[in-house]
Amino acid sequence: MKKIILLLFSGFAVTASFAQTTSKADVAKKADAIEQKIIGWRRDFHEHPELGNHEVRTAAIITKHLQSLGIEVKTGVATTGVVGVLKGGKPGPVVALRADMDALPVTERVNLPFASKVTTTYNGEQVGVMHACGHDSHMAILMGVAEVLSSMKNDLHGTVKFIFQPAEEGLPAGEKGGAEEMVKEGVLENPKVDVVFGLHIQSYQPAGTITYRPGGDMAAVNPMKIIVHGKSAHGAYPWSSVDPIVVSAQIINSLQTIVSRNLHITQNGAVVTIGAINGGNRSNIIPETVTMIGTIRTLNNDDEKMVIERVKQIATKTAEASGATAEVIIPFEHHYPITYNDPALVAQMLPTLQATAGAANVSLRQAETGAEDFSFYEQKVPGIFIHLGGMPKGGDPITAPAHHTPDFFIDESGFTLGVKALCNLTLDYMGSKGK
């Protein structure tokens, strides 16, 4: 009896494996067939970038494409966001796929025929505008995914929700937007999303590769403001003052002990950075106040709570010891949660990534202290955020142009792998829920 059961199970495994291989071959064929369209979309977006909450032209192109595929479309989500809903021919789970739309206030320096020459006003300054983080690639890839999956509509066991999100890079003061606003406006409801997948192209990772990380992948962000209140005096008579500049210097130095002395560095990393300090306006006047702003980056919730508490404690107690006071505001401006990839979901879907890219081209990556507002979706539903190679093969990761810089460059040869990965994650997840 046991042999019969094993044979039946073995036969089922072979059948399932064959079915998945056939599906992946179909996806690969369809993705390869539209590679030039994907590259064309990307180049168009790259040449005509738009900043967060201003992606009007971008959204119109995406909307037109989704509608041409027969996908139900909602526009104006969180200002300029576009959400498409593709209902499969058979019942099943709802899978959300996300791409970000916005560019950055960066003047492009790359010599490309489709380089951006766009300029605009940002925070009161005239700036260049550039897709210096790869969002043009993300949109083009997801448009390709929509085309492939819509061609399989009748065989889809579930629903796909395509989320084209504005303002991932943040916003000018006083504006709302990004993933947090999309979630508030119900992007994960009606129909209710079961799982979310996303990707980010990387200029320092070879094209044709995928990297992943279960658990904390990208850091939580807590901008901070520390205002030190002292007592002003003539610079020639410092004994008459409570000098907030000296107190601030002591606070800055002491903050660095959080990572070196309070953090379990063999488990997770963290960053405590002061990015600006402002106080006083003359060489011979000790000011009354000093204001510092900075950022806290952490990779798990316990560390986030601990670091915030220590920043507050160090700032207030150091000031108190000198006769000053310190006001600590965390978060200041905005907050991004940890980009946390559900470990069980990663384990479940890792074979899909390996089958798609080849096991040798899929690897575990180190956590990083950069941040992603994809984290807001993952707070609500299980998710996976993967990283797609965009560096020309043979390139040096150390010297590859960094994201958010004028020289940022992406090799387009890896785009179809992104399409295949998101399609196969969707199909295999739906398949795992039964047919």
Given the residues 168, 304, 373, 411, select the one marked as catalytic: 168
pLDDT of residue 4: 37
pLDDT band at 268 (very low <50, low <70, confident <90, very high): confident
Give backbone dihedrals phi and psi of 317, rounded to 5 degrees, phi first: -75, -35
Residue with token string 């599906």: 23
Look up 55 and say whether it is catalytic: no
* Side-chain half-sphere CA neighbours of 155 within 13 A: 12
pLDDT of residue 13: 40
Enumerate residues 6+ apart whose C-beta is below 8 A from 424: 23, 24, 27, 352, 353, 355, 356
Torsion sign across C-alpha atoms 111, 115, 120, 121: negative
pLDDT band at 1 (very low <50, low <70, confident <90, very high): very low
Q: What is the pLDDT of residues 396-407, one digit of tens each?
A: 999 999 999 999
Q: Give yes or no for residue 12 having a pLDDT over 60.
A: no
Q: How many whole angstroms separate alpha carbon 185 and alpha carbon 76?
A: 11
Of 54-58, 261-265, 413-417, the one with minimum mean pLDDT is 261-265
pLDDT of residue 23: 86
Q: What is the mean pLDDT of the chain?
A: 94
Check: CB of residue 178 under 8 Å from CB of residue 78: yes
Q: Give yes or no for residue 259 having a pLDDT over 90.
A: yes
pLDDT of residue 19: 40
Mean pLDDT of 23-35: 96
Helix (H) or strand (E) holding 311: helix 301-321
Q: Give yes or no for residue 111 having a pLDDT over 50.
A: yes
Torsion sign across C-alpha atoms 164, 169, 171, 172: negative
pLDDT of residue 22: 46
* Side-chain half-sphere CA neighbours of 112 within 13 A: 21
Of 6-10, 22-26, 172-176, 202-206, the one with minimum mean pLDDT is 6-10
What is the pTM for the complete model shown? 0.91
Given the residues 102, 147, 180, 373, select the one marked as catalytic: 102
Mean pLDDT of 164-180: 90
Q: What is the pLDDT of residues 174-223, one digit of tens each?
A: 889 999 999 999 999 999 999 999 999 999 999 999 999 999 999 999 99
Mean pLDDT of 240-245: 98
Q: Counting Cβ atoms within 10 Å, is residue 379 exposed (0-12), middle (13-18) or buried (19+)?
A: middle
Q: How many whole angstroms separate alpha carbon 130 and alpha carbon 48?
A: 8
Q: How many whole angstroms separate alpha carbon 411 and alpha carbon 1?
A: 55
pLDDT of residue 354: 98
Q: Give yes or no for residue 240 having a pLDDT over 60.
A: yes
Q: What is the pLDDT of residues 337-348, one digit of tens each?
A: 999 999 999 999
pLDDT of residue 434: 65
pLDDT of residue 5: 37
Q: What is the pLDDT of residues 124-141, one digit of tens each?
A: 889 999 999 999 999 999
Rounded percentage of the chain residues whose pLDDT exceeds 70: 94
Q: How many whole angstroms separate alpha carbon 408 and alpha carbon 147?
A: 28
Token pair in block for residue 107: 């003047």
* Side-chain half-sphere CA neighbours of 130 within 13 A: 23
Bridge-based pairing state of the strands 195-206 and 90-100: parallel
Mean pLDDT of 40-62: 98
Q: What is the pLDDT of residues 297-344, one digit of tens each?
A: 999 999 999 999 999 999 999 999 999 999 999 998 889 999 999 999
Q: Where are the beta strands (DSSP E) in 152-208?
A: 157-165, 195-206
Look up 102 and say whether it is catalytic: yes
Token pair in block for residue 150: 């819509």
Q: How many whole angstroms separate alpha carbon 358 and alpha carbon 30?
A: 18
Q: How many whole angstroms separate alpha carbon 255 and alpha carbon 312?
A: 10
Alpha-helical (H) ranges within 156-202 are 178-184
Mean pLDDT of 109-125: 94
Rounded percentage of the chain residues whose pLDDT exceeds 90: 89
Residue with token string 């180049």: 43
Q: How many whole angstroms separate alpha carbon 328 and alpha carbon 320?
A: 13
pLDDT of residue 8: 36
Residue with token string 């995914």: 145
Q: How many whole angstroms separate alpha carbon 426 and alpha carbon 422?
A: 6
DSSP 330-348: SS-S--B--EEE-HHHHHH
What SS3 class is residue 95? strand
